[in-house]
């Protein structure tokens, strides 16, 4: 059936899981069986035009408004202001363009719905009056998918001698000896090749999206990048594809201005990044909304090879259409879809290994005993080990390691290679009527600690069907399964005890028995023999879409998305028996083996309906979107527990004792109903306006406060489109200014039912000496709770300097009101405090990105740099300041460090001639060589209400904010270059103005009976008063206080990624019937420059106070990319 587009212009200007799997299998079978029927869009679509005295640009605009075509061209190759008249009826795009370009030197290429316009040199070769010696060269020009580039310009540099490629991408040209060819085509990066000694030249052109009128995915639709008025970043997928990471979130690190990605662990399956868009919005959850083809999904469930585009919506103007779901920003991911009349098969696979980026160096057995003796003497206690014992130990530890161990606990625990491998296969094909793409992925990652492992299985099918010229359907299915294994004690505990256990404690005796280690907590035994924790998280998502286009200016679309997800956890804690060196039993930890199994399940239904109308009147262009959305989620969980397993190899609940067992479970549900809309207006592509609104109703709040209205407005001015700018357009080809304001809401506060009184079923009581189950109210609720509301204002500028340099800069101010807090209530009430809308927080900052692309002969390269600044401050907590190490306090950033201000060491000069300490009294046992703390001004001596003196005692009143845990600056530098088949890319990523804190077991020597590190040897003595660490002191409290002494600069610059690749010549790969073969070597986290504590990865400062963390790792991978 032929599609007709009429433009008449008279004016001169589990069961559920199996069911879903069966349904997906059916859709896949249908898609594959009929994916070759029909014709292409360009063959099936006809146009009717009646235009008089209009510019070529206006003709393009009319066709774009009333069809799905997009025209791509440069002013250098086309005069868009040429006035034409055209009158056609029901003709194809090719027939229309043949008439439009008749008598000109312009040529075109229609690729699906994109039309590329370029300029064709004359076919005949021009010669000089004096002919030099000529020779003939020939070749073929293809794109990155191996498809021929039709009409590519082939020019002999420095001459007018040239030709263009034919329909198969082939060319032949006579050139001078030692000449160079310049090969170019609109939308691709130009290539320069020296012809010396070459008769055949095959060239692959790389797409240059920046040279096109790029289309960007926005909320519920797309827009031309040139017409954007909000702050939206379209991620360069070339930069994403170079990152060979197990979690897609980490592929975004360092490449998006305003997006901070932090990684806190290198553990397989837990090594994803935490995403923050323009700072922290609330005291609760700050994760952005992530949508994959319109469906909410975890970003790590999507393999980078599936992704077609990523858009990051950073301001309220771009995100407000998502209302309450978008308070923390939005990331829109679009997956790849099949193209008509093409069958493509690609494979991407790699394998590699890992090693820790850095580790602290612990002291050996002898150093431990000697340093411990010094610490005990300083504390006034008798040393545990005298000199004779230490000398005897030194003489025998190489002879009898069972009785005199010298264990390097890190070497005994971090024993694995971290081998990983990834395989991803894509099959894409179809015709105009049916198009199907199938993605199949498998990822396997082993850890550097025994029994740590992660597997992920992925299947995604995207299918598009054009039922008729007005109706189209879309069926997408996504299946994923993640499996994670780790020692049940947890990798954090294992690393913790590797830290704290001294080298003098035995790990494993020569007879195979486990050594008693630290009170029976043997890190190696826990990893090998302490039981395992298994987690599985299957998910299944469907996206069923229907598009109806009753007229060329009107489109209706409906989508239904069921999303099932689950988490199955089985944790078996096996009892480990340890022994002393004489063979006697030492400890059994835990006393009994125990098993806990838990099942979490959720099912979300999402229904979306939209209508979009587009109209133009005398260069006034309007686009209106209206929509409705209904979302409901039901989650439930249950768990079982038993102790006493006689056969620890048989880890099922029924194998445990019935005497000690537990069962728990619960179920919840929420719903959200929304109405939304967007109006776009532009005049002649110069003056741009956009208005968004969303009206959300949630089941979380009481009926009176259930609904919230969230608007946004933005405007833009494309100065470079003005007539007065045309004299500058050769220098500054693009100049646009933007401004926006908007409101966003947040409903993810206080659980599912923060406004409803709930009853706890865990209130047992005793009656007649019998325990009886009971229920009761433990916490008050507030029925007046409303949405947290974020208001954001922003301004921005976009600059383009030809096709080489682009600059985008933004400034923003964001303020969140009505943040939920639990304010103090009189304890005599007898209930927990309810939530109240009371807190206020602000973020202000800027971000800038600069991109440059060019070539030096055959060397093509591209560089991009981004820099972001965010300043966070809590403005109001109603006086509820926290006093913990990491605290929220008014007037300071979220999660600030709070403690004493260190003022060097206590020295001899701090005592008077009688030996009396001159300053404020500190903690028990303090003396020379200990950390000295500042006595803050806490006493008002003159009655003016301003403290002007210390109180002479170091106590909690002297604690102050000593640093911020939120990075102020984030930046990234990306480079990509290619030369004659070789390619090189690297990413330098970093953070500026950030503090990191270490304490406790991680950094303080002999903390709670632990050991020491090599760097602790630089401790204070009367002869070493400028040491790195205070004097050694056993079980003291003065030096272990939370203070700025243990705070370090956590800024860093890191070579995050380096990749070197080589693409085999096509004449070689074609012999194997392969379009393209590329091999590469890749490395992550290779070099780091920082001033943090030695042996600690500066990017991971979480959980290091207790030394309970999985080390960050370097990745080394080797892979291949093949396309057929």
Q: What does the pLDDT look like over 214-268, one tens digit per residue?
A: 778 888 888 888 888 889 998 888 778 778 888 899 999 999 999 999 888 899 9
Residue 1096 lies in a domain: yes
In this predicted structure, what is the pLDDT of residue 932? 97
> Stretch 766-790: mean pLDDT, rounded?
85
In this predicted structure, what is the pLDDT of residue 710? 93
Bridge partners (DSSP) listed for residue 801: 805
Q: What phi and psi, each to the nearest 5 degrees, are found at residue 516?
A: -70, -20
Bridge partners (DSSP) listed for residue 690: 680, 714
What's the mean pLDDT when you consider all of the chain?
87
Residue 416 lies in a domain: yes
> Stretch 1081-1099: mean pLDDT, rounded?
93
Sheet with 153-156, side-by-side order of all strands: 162-164, 153-156, 180-184, 191-194
Q: Are 882 and 888 in contact (CB under 8 A)?
A: yes
- The per-residue b/e assignment along 402-439, b for 16 or more CB within 10 angstroms, e otherwise, is bebbbbebbebbbebebebebebbbbbbbbbbbbbbbb
Pairing mode, if any, of strands 70-72 and 114-119? parallel
Where residue 128 falls among pLDDT bands split at 50, 70, 90? very low
Q: Which CATH number is 180's domain given?
A: 2.60.40.1120
In this predicted structure, what is the pLDDT of residue 580? 94
968 pLDDT higher than 90: yes
In this predicted structure, what is the pLDDT of residue 777? 84
In this predicted structure, what is the pLDDT of residue 158? 67
> Stretch 958-964: mean pLDDT, rounded?
95
CA dihedral (934, 938, 944, 945) positive or negative: positive
Radius of gyration in angstroms for the set of CA atoms belonging to the chain, rounded to a whole number: 34
Residue 1066 lies in a domain: yes
Report pLDDT digits (tens) over 648-657: 888 999 999 8
Where residue 212 falls among pLDDT bands split at 50, 70, 90? very low
Where residue 76 falls among pLDDT bands split at 50, 70, 90? low
In this predicted structure, what is the pLDDT of residue 10? 35
Q: Are 377 and 1036 in contact (CB under 8 A)?
A: no
> Stretch 765-775: mean pLDDT, rounded?
83
Report pLDDT digits (tens) over 78-88: 888 888 888 88
Domain end: 207, 237, 262, which one? 207
Same-domain pairing of 507 and 653: yes
In this predicted structure, what is the pLDDT of residue 444? 96
Maximum average pLDDT range among 146-155, 524-533, 724-733 = 524-533
Least confident span in 100-114, 452-466, 710-724: 100-114
Distance CA(380)–CA(390), nearest Å, equals 20
The residue among 363 and 316 whose pLDDT is bigger is: 363
Same-domain pairing of 932 and 973: no
In a 3-state reduction of DSSP, which class is residue 1066? helix
Choose among 821, 985, 800: nearest CA to 238. Answer: 985
Residue 93 lies in a domain: yes
Same-domain pairing of 416 and 553: yes
Quickly tell me which residue has 């807190």 as its tokens.
Answer: 839
In this predicted structure, what is the pLDDT of residue 75? 66
Distance CA(523)–CA(526), nearest Å, equals 5
Domain end: 207, 240, 262, which one? 207
- E-strand ranges in 684-764 read 687-698, 707-718, 734-746
For 897, 1001, 1031, the CA distances from 368, given in Å and listed in that order, are 31, 15, 15
The residue among 3 and 975 whose pLDDT is bigger is: 975
> Stretch 8-16: mean pLDDT, rounded?
38
- Which token pair is 429? 């094909």
User: Measured at the alpha carbon of residue 658, what is the angle toward residues 652 and 661, in degrees to the nearest 5?
Assistant: 80
Q: Are 52 and 62 in contact (CB under 8 A)?
A: no
Residue 732 lies in a domain: yes
Same-domain pairing of 164 and 66: no
1072 pLDDT higher than 90: no
Same-domain pairing of 713 and 772: yes
DSSP string, 56-84: HHHHHHHHHHTSS-EEE--TTT--TT-EE
Q: Are 849 and 183 in contact (CB under 8 A)?
A: no
Residue 1015 lies in a domain: no
Same-domain pairing of 818 and 862: yes
- Which token pair is 962? 């000593």
851 pLDDT higher than 70: yes
Distance CA(1047)–CA(900), nearest Å, equals 11
151 pLDDT higher than 90: no
Distance CA(25)–CA(27), nearest Å, equals 6
123 pLDDT higher than 70: no
Choose among 717, 680, 722, 676: nearest CA to 696. Answer: 676
Where residue 133 falls among pLDDT bands split at 50, 70, 90? low
Least confident span in 63-72, 419-428, 491-500: 63-72
Domain count, the chain: 4
Distance CA(260)–CA(867), nearest Å, equals 11
Pairing mode, if any, of strands 594-617 and 554-573? antiparallel
Q: What's the gap between Cα 77 and its chain centre?
A: 39
Where residue 1104 falls among pLDDT bands split at 50, 70, 90? low
- Classify burial at 1079, counting beta carbons within 10 Å of its beta carbon; exposed 0-12, middle 13-18, buried 19 or more: middle
Q: Are 1014 and 361 in contact (CB under 8 A)?
A: yes
Residue 66 lies in a domain: yes
Same-domain pairing of 62 and 112: yes
867 pLDDT higher than 80: yes
The range of the structural domain enclosing residue 564 comes to 406-897+966-1004+1040-1123
In this predicted structure, what is the pLDDT of residue 39? 40
Same-domain pairing of 940 and 799: no
Sheet with 232-234, side-by-side order of all strands: 232-234, 307-313, 330-335, 289-292, 295-296
Q: Are 622 and 554 in contact (CB under 8 A)?
A: no
For 142, 456, 647, 781, 858, the CA distances from 981, given in Å and listed in that order, are 14, 32, 60, 66, 10
> Stretch 193-202: mean pLDDT, rounded?
84
Distance CA(205)–CA(187), nearest Å, equals 9
User: In 10 A of CB 582, how many CB atoms?
Assistant: 7
The residue count for the chain: 1124
Choose among 521, 527, 604, 602: nearest CA to 561. Answer: 604
Q: Which CATH number is 102's domain given?
A: 3.55.50.30
28 pLDDT higher than 80: no
> Stretch 737-753: mean pLDDT, rounded?
87
Choose among 401, 593, 391: nearest CA to 507. Answer: 401
In a 3-state reduction of DSSP, which class is residue 221? strand
Choose among 1119, 1095, 1123, 1122: nearest CA to 1109. Answer: 1095
Domain end: 173, 207, 241, which one? 207
Same-domain pairing of 141 and 11: no
Bridge partners (DSSP) listed for residue 1049: 995
Q: Which CATH number is 889's domain given?
A: 2.40.170.20
Residues near 1072 by Cβ (< 8 Å), separated by ≥ 6?
Answer: none
User: Measured at the alpha carbon of residue 397, what is the angle toward residues 391 and 399, in degrees to the nearest 5?
Assistant: 120
DSSP state of 198: -
Q: CA neighbours within 13 Å on the CB side: how many for 46?
A: 9
Report pLDDT digits (tens) over 992-1046: 999 999 988 899 999 988 999 999 999 999 999 999 999 999 999 999 999 999 9
> Stretch 890-914: mean pLDDT, rounded?
95
Distance CA(470)–CA(600), nearest Å, equals 43
Quickly tell me which residue has 């971290």 as its tokens.
Answer: 418
Q: CA neighbours within 13 Å on the CB side: how many for 1051?
A: 9
Same-domain pairing of 850 and 939: no
Same-domain pairing of 1069 and 1083: yes
Distance CA(868)–CA(727), nearest Å, equals 33
In this predicted structure, what is the pLDDT of residue 41? 64
Residue 125 lies in a domain: no
- E-strand ranges in 857-959 read 859-876, 886-887, 896-899, 902-905, 931-933
Same-domain pairing of 19 and 91: yes
């Amino acid at each position: 059936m032929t599609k007709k587009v009429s433009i008449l212009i008279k004016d001169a200007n589990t069961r559920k899981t199996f069911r879903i799997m069966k349904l997906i299998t059916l859709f896949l079978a249908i898609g594959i069986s009929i994916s070759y029927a029909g014709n292409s869009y360009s063959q099936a679509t006809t146009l009717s035009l009646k235009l008089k005295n209009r510019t070529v640009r206006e003709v393009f605009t009319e066709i774009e408004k009333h069809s799905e075509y997009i025209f791509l061209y440069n002013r250098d190759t086309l005069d868009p202001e040429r006035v034409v008249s055209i009158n056609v009826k029901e003709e194809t795009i090719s027939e229309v363009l043949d008439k439009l370009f008749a008598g000109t030197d312009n040529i075109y290429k229609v690729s699906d719905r994109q039309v590329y316009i370029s300029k064709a040199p004359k076919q005949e070769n021009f010669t000089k009056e004096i002919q030099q010696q000529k020779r003939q060269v020939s070749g073929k020009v293809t794109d990155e998918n191996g498809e021929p580039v039709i009409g590519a310009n082939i020019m002999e540099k420095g001459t007018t001698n040239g030709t263009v490629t034919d329909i198969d991408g082939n060319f032949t040209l006579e050139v001078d000896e030692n000449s160079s060819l310049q090969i170019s085509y609109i939308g691709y990066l130009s290539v320069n090749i020296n012809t010396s000694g070459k008769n055949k030249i095959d060239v692959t052109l790389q797409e240059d999206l920046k040279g096109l009128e790029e289309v960007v995915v926005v909320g519920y639709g797309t827009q031309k990048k040139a017409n954007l008025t909000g702050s939206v970043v379209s991620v360069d997928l070339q930069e994403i594809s170079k990152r060979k990471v197990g979690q897609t979130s980490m592929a975004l690190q360092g490449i998006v201005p305003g997006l901070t990605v932090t990684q806190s662990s290198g553990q397989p399956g837990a090594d994803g990044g935490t995403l923050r868009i323009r700072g922290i919005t609330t005291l609760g959850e700050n994760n952005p909304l992530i949508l994959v083809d319109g469906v909410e999904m975890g970003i790590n469930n999507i393999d980078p090879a599936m992704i077609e585009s990523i858009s990051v919506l950073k301001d309220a103007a771009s995100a407000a259409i998502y209302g309450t779901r978008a308070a923390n920003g939005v990331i829109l991911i679009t997956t790849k879809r099949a193209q008509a009349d093409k069958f493509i098969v690609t494979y991407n696979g790699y394998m590699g290994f890992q090693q820790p980026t850095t580790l602290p160096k612990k002291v050996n057995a002898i150093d431990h005993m000697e340093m411990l003796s010094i610490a005990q003497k300083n504390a006034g206690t008798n040393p545990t080990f005298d000199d004779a014992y230490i000398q005897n130990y030194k003489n025998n530890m190489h002879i009898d390691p069972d009785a005199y161990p010298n264990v390097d606990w890190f070497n005994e625990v971090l024993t694995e290679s971290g081998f990983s491998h990834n395989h991803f296969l894509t099959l894409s094909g179809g015709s105009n009527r049916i198009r199907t793409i199938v993605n199949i992925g498998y990822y396997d990652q082993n850890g550097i600690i025994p029994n740590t492992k992660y597997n992920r299985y992925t299947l995604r099918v995207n299918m598009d069907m054009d039922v008729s010229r007005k109706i189209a359907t879309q069926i997408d299915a996504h299946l994923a399964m993640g499996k994670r294994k780790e020692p049940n004690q947890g990798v954090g505990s294992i690393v913790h005890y590797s830290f704290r256990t001294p080298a003098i404690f035995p790990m494993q005796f020569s007879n195979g028995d486990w050594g008693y280690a630290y009170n029976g907590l043997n890190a190696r035994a826990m990893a090998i023999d302490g039981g395992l924790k298994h987690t599985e998280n299957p998910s299944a998502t469907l996206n069923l879409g229907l598009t109806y286009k009753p007229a060329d200016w009107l489109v209706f679309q409906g989508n239904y998305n069921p999303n099932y997800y689950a988490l199955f956890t089985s944790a078996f804690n096996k009892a480990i028996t340890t022994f002393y060196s004489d063979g006697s039993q030492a400890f059994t930890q835990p006393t009994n083996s125990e098993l806990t199994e838990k099942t979490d399940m959720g099912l979300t239904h999402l229904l979306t309906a939209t209508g979009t109308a587009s109209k133009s009147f005398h260069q006034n262009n309007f686009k209106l979107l209206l929509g409705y959305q209904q979302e409901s989620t039901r989650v439930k969980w249950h768990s079982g527990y038993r102790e006493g397993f006689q056969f620890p190899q048989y880890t099922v609940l029924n194998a445990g004792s019935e005497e000690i067992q537990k069962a728990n479970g619960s179920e919840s549900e929420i719903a959200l109903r929304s109405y939304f809309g967007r109006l776009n207006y532009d005049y002649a592509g110069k003056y741009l306006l956009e208005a968004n609104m969303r009206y959300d109703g949630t089941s979380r709040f009481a009926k009176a406060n259930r609904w919230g209205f969230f608007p946004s407005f933005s405007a833009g001015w494309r100065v470079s489109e003005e007539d007065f700018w045309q004299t500058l357009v050769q220098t500054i080809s693009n100049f646009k200014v933007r401004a926006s304001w908007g409101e966003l809401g947040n409903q993810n506060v206080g659980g599912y039912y923060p406004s409803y009184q709930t009853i706890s079923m865990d209130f047992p009581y005793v009656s007649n000496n019998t325990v009886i189950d009971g229920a009761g109210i433990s916490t008050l609720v507030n029925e007046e709770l409303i949405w947290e509301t974020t208001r954001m204002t922003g301004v921005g500028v976009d600059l383009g300097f030809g096709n080489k340099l682009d600059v985008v800069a933004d400034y923003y101010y964001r303020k969140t009101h009505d943040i939920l807090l639990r304010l103090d209530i009189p304890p005599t009430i007898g209930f927990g405090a309810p939530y109240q809308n009371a807190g206020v927080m602000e973020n202000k900052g800027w971000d800038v990105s600069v991109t440059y692309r060019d070539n030096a002969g055959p060397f093509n390269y591209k560089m991009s740099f981004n820099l972001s600044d965010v300043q966070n401050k809590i403005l109001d907590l109603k006086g509820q300041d926290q006093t913990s190490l990491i605290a929220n306090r008014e007037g300071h950033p979220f999660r600030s460090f709070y403690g004493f201000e260190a003022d060097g060491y206590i020295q001899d000069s701090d005592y008077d001639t009688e030996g009396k300490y001159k300053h404020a009294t500190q903690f028990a046992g303090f003396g020379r060589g200990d950390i000295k703390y500042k006595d803050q001004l806490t006493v008002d001596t003159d009655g003016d209400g301003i403290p002007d003196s210390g109180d002479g005692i170091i106590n909690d009143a002297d604690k102050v904010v000593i640093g911020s845990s939120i990075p102020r600056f984030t930046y990234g530098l990306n480079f990509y270059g290619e030369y004659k088949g070789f390619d090189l890319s690297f990413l330098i990523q970093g953070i500026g103005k950030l503090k990191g804190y270490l304490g406790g077991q991680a950094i303080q020597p002999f903390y709670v009976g632990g050991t020491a590190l090599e760097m602790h040897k630089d401790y204070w003595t009367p002869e070493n008063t400028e040491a790195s660490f205070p004097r050694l002191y056993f079980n003291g409290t003065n030096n272990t206080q939370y203070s700025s002494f243990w705070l370090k600069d956590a800024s860093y610059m890191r070579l995050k990624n380096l990749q070197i690749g080589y693409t085999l010549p096509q004449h070689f790969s074609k012999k194997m019937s392969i379009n393209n073969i590329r091999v590469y070597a890749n490395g992550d986290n290779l070099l780091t420059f920082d001033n943090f504590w030695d042996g600690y990865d500066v990017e991971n400062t979480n959980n290091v106070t207790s030394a309970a963390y999985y080390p960050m790792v370097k990745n080394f991978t080797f892979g291949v990319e093949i396309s057929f």
